[in-house]
Structure 1
Amino acid sequence: MLEFKKYNELEEKLNHQKKITRIWSLIRAILAIASIIFIICLLSIGDYLLYGLLSGVFLALFFISVSLSNPSYKALKIIENKRKVYERHNQRRNKNFSHFSDNGIEFKDKEDYKLSDLDIFGPKSLYQYLNEAKTPLGRALLAKQFKDPIELDSNFKSMVKNLAENEDSLELEASLMEFKKGQAGITTDEFLSIVSKKIEFKIWYFIPIISFILMLVYIPFIFIFGINPYIPLVFLGVNFISSKLLIRDDILTKDANSYYYLSDLYVDLSLSIKNTNIEDEYYQILKKKIVDEIPLIKKIRGIYTFLNIRKNLLLNIILNIIFSFDSIMILILRFKIKNGIELKDSLKSISLIELALSYKNIGMDNMEYCVPEDGDKIDAIDMYHPFVLNCIPNSISLDSGIVLTGSNMSGKTTFMRTLGICILLKNAGSIVPAKSFKAPNMDIYTSLRANDMLQEGVSTFYAEIKRMKKINQAIKESKCLVLVDEIFKGTNALERIEASKKVIEKLNNYHAIFIISTHDFELCDTKGITNYHFEENYIDDKISFDYKLKKGPGIKGNALYLLKMSGIIEE
Structure 2
Amino acid sequence: MTIYQQRKEAFSDQLESITKNYNAISIARLITVLLLLAFLFFGIKRNENLWFVGAAILFVVFVFLMRKHSELSYQKKLKQALVKINSDEIDYLERKSLPFENGSQHQDFSHLYAYDLDIFGEHSLFQNLNRTTTFIGQKILANQLLTLLSNEQILQNQAAIQELSGKLEWRHELMALGKISHDNKEQYENLLRWSRSGNSPLSKFQVFLSFLSPILLIGSFAGYLITDDSFLIKITSFLFAFNLFLLGLCTKRIKSEIQHAEGIDKIINQYSEIVKNIETENFLSEKANVLKQQLFVENHSASAHLKKLSGLFSNMDSIANLFSTVLFNGIFLFHVHVLKALLHWRKNHSAQLEKWLDTIGEFEMLSSLANLAYNNPDFAFPNLNDQHTIDFKNLSHPLLNKETRAGNDVKFNPQFMILTGSNMSGKSTFLRSLGINMVLTGIGSAVCADEANVHPLPVLVSMRLSDSLADSESYFYAEIKRLKQIMDGLENKRAFVLLDEILRGTNSDDKRSGTIGVVKKMIEKQAIGAIATHDIEVCQMTNEFPGSLANKCFEVEIINNDLHFDYKLRNGICQNKSATFLMTKTGII
TM-score under structure 2 normalisation? 0.87
- The answer as to whether partners of 2:148 and 2:457 remain within 8 angstroms in 1 is no
- The answer as to whether partners of 1:208 and 1:240 remain within 8 angstroms in 2 is no
Instruction: Look up the match of 1:265.
Output: 270
Structure 2 CA distance for aligned equivalents of residues 309 and 440 of structure 1: 58
Structure 1 CA distance for aligned equivalents of residues 537 and 163 of structure 2: 49
Instruction: Look up the match of 2:410.
Output: 396
Structure 2 CA distance for aligned equivalents of residues 470 and 195 of structure 1: 37
Residue 384 of structure 2, aligned match among 374, 386, 389: 374
**How far off is 1:288 after superposition?**
5.6
Structure 1 CA distance for aligned equivalents of residues 66 and 25 of structure 2: 9
Residue 34 of structure 2, aligned match among 33, 36, 43: 36
- The answer as to whether partners of 1:183 and 1:262 remain within 8 angstroms in 2 is no
Structure 1 CA distance for aligned equivalents of residues 6 and 450 of structure 2: 30
Where 1:483 maps in the other structure, the secondary structure is strand
Deviates more, 1:330-339 or 1:254-263: 330-339
Deviates more, 1:476-485 or 1:409-418: 476-485
- The answer as to whether partners of 1:195 and 1:339 remain within 8 angstroms in 2 is no
**How far off is 1:131 after superposition?**
1.3
**How far off is 1:477 after superposition?**
2.4
**How far off is 1:193 after superposition?**
4.3
Structure 1 CA distance for aligned equivalents of residues 288 and 269 of structure 2: 22
- The answer as to whether partners of 1:160 and 1:357 remain within 8 angstroms in 2 is yes
**How far off is 1:469 after superposition?**
1.3
Structure 2 CA distance for aligned equivalents of residues 502 and 447 of structure 1: 15
Deviates more, 1:41-50 or 1:346-355: 41-50
1:215-254 equivalent positions in 2, closer than 5 A = 215-225=217-227, 226-228=229-231, 229-246=233-250, 248-249=252-253, 252-254=257-259
Structure 1 CA distance for aligned equivalents of residues 230 and 79 of structure 2: 62
Q: Deviations over 1:127-148 (max 9, x none)?
A: 1111122333322221221223
**How far off is 1:421 after superposition?**
1.0
- The answer as to whether partners of 1:196 and 1:339 remain within 8 angstroms in 2 is no
User: Structure 2 vs 1, CA of residues 173 and 451 (structure 1 numbering), >3 Å: closer, same or farther?
Assistant: closer
- The answer as to whether partners of 1:28 and 1:62 remain within 8 angstroms in 2 is no
Residue 486 (1) aligns with residue 501 (2): yes
Structure 1 CA distance for aligned equivalents of residues 341 and 70 of structure 2: 28
**How far off is 1:498 after superposition?**
0.9
Structure 2 CA distance for aligned equivalents of residues 176 and 187 of structure 1: 13
Deviates more, 1:44-53 or 1:557-566: 44-53
Instruction: Look up the match of 2:203.
Output: 202
Where 1:469 maps in the other structure, the secondary structure is helix
- The answer as to whether partners of 2:132 and 2:368 remain within 8 angstroms in 1 is yes
Structure 1 CA distance for aligned equivalents of residues 196 and 230 of structure 2: 45
Structure 2 CA distance for aligned equivalents of residues 474 and 9 of structure 1: 48
1:525-544 equivalent positions in 2, closer than 5 A = 525-526=540-541, 527-528=544-545, 529-544=549-564
User: Structure 2 vs 1, CA of residues 290 and 91 (structure 1 numbering), >3 Å: closer, same or farther?
Assistant: farther
Structure 2 CA distance for aligned equivalents of residues 301 and 195 of structure 1: 17
Structure 1 CA distance for aligned equivalents of residues 6 and 452 of structure 2: 35
User: Structure 2 vs 1, CA of residues 139 and 336 (structure 1 numbering), >3 Å: closer, same or farther?
Assistant: closer
Deviates more, 1:39-48 or 1:503-512: 39-48
Q: Deviations over 1:206-251 (max 9, x none)?
A: 3454332221121112222313323322222221222122454365
- The answer as to whether partners of 1:531 and 1:552 remain within 8 angstroms in 2 is yes
Equivalent residue letter for 1:63 = V
Residue-pair matches, total:
565
Deviates more, 1:143-152 or 1:538-547: 143-152
Instruction: Look up the match of 1:178.
Output: 180
Where 2:490 maps in the other structure, the secondary structure is helix
Where 1:76 maps in the other structure, the secondary structure is helix
Structure 1 CA distance for aligned equivalents of residues 306 and 14 of structure 2: 31
Instruction: Look up the match of 2:105.
Output: 106
Where 2:520 maps in the other structure, the secondary structure is helix
Instruction: Look up the match of 1:475.
Output: 490
Equivalent residue letter for 1:77 = K
Q: Deviations over 1:482-510 (max 9, x none)?
A: 21111211111111101111111111111
User: Structure 2 vs 1, CA of residues 450 and 27 (structure 1 numbering), >3 Å: closer, same or farther?
Assistant: closer
**How far off is 1:475 after superposition?**
1.3
Q: Deviations over 1:4-46 (max 9, x none)?
A: 4364254245324422442343134223223234315534762
Where 2:505 maps in the other structure, the secondary structure is coil
**How far off is 1:113 after superposition?**
4.1
**How far off is 1:540 after superposition?**
1.4
Structure 1 CA distance for aligned equivalents of residues 472 and 586 of structure 2: 31
Percent identity over the alignment is 25
Residue 213 of structure 2, aligned match among 207, 211, 214: 211
Structure 1 CA distance for aligned equivalents of residues 400 and 328 of structure 2: 60
Structure 2 CA distance for aligned equivalents of residues 47 and 11 of structure 1: 55
**How far off is 1:538 after superposition?**
1.7
User: Structure 2 vs 1, CA of residues 194 and 320 (structure 1 numbering), >3 Å: closer, same or farther?
Assistant: farther
Instruction: Look up the match of 2:374.
Output: 364
Where 1:547 maps in the other structure, the secondary structure is strand
**How far off is 1:118 after superposition?**
0.7
Segments of 5+ residues of structure 1 without an aligned counterpart are none
Structure 2 CA distance for aligned equivalents of residues 414 and 6 of structure 1: 30
Residue 328 (1) aligns with residue 337 (2): yes
Instruction: Look up the match of 2:156.
Output: 155
The CA RMSD over aligned residues, in Å, is 2.9
Structure 2 CA distance for aligned equivalents of residues 346 and 115 of structure 1: 28
Structure 2 CA distance for aligned equivalents of residues 30 and 477 of structure 1: 73
Where 2:445 maps in the other structure, the secondary structure is coil
User: Structure 2 vs 1, CA of residues 39 and 189 (structure 1 numbering), >3 Å: closer, same or farther?
Assistant: closer
**How far off is 1:285 after superposition?**
5.4
User: Structure 2 vs 1, CA of residues 111 and 335 (structure 1 numbering), >3 Å: closer, same or farther?
Assistant: closer
**How far off is 1:557 after superposition?**
2.4
Instruction: Look up the match of 1:61.
Output: 61
TM-score under structure 1 normalisation? 0.90
Instruction: Look up the match of 2:569.
Output: 549
Structure 1 CA distance for aligned equivalents of residues 434 and 555 of structure 2: 19
Equivalent residue letter for 1:52 = F
Deviates more, 1:502-511 or 1:18-27: 18-27
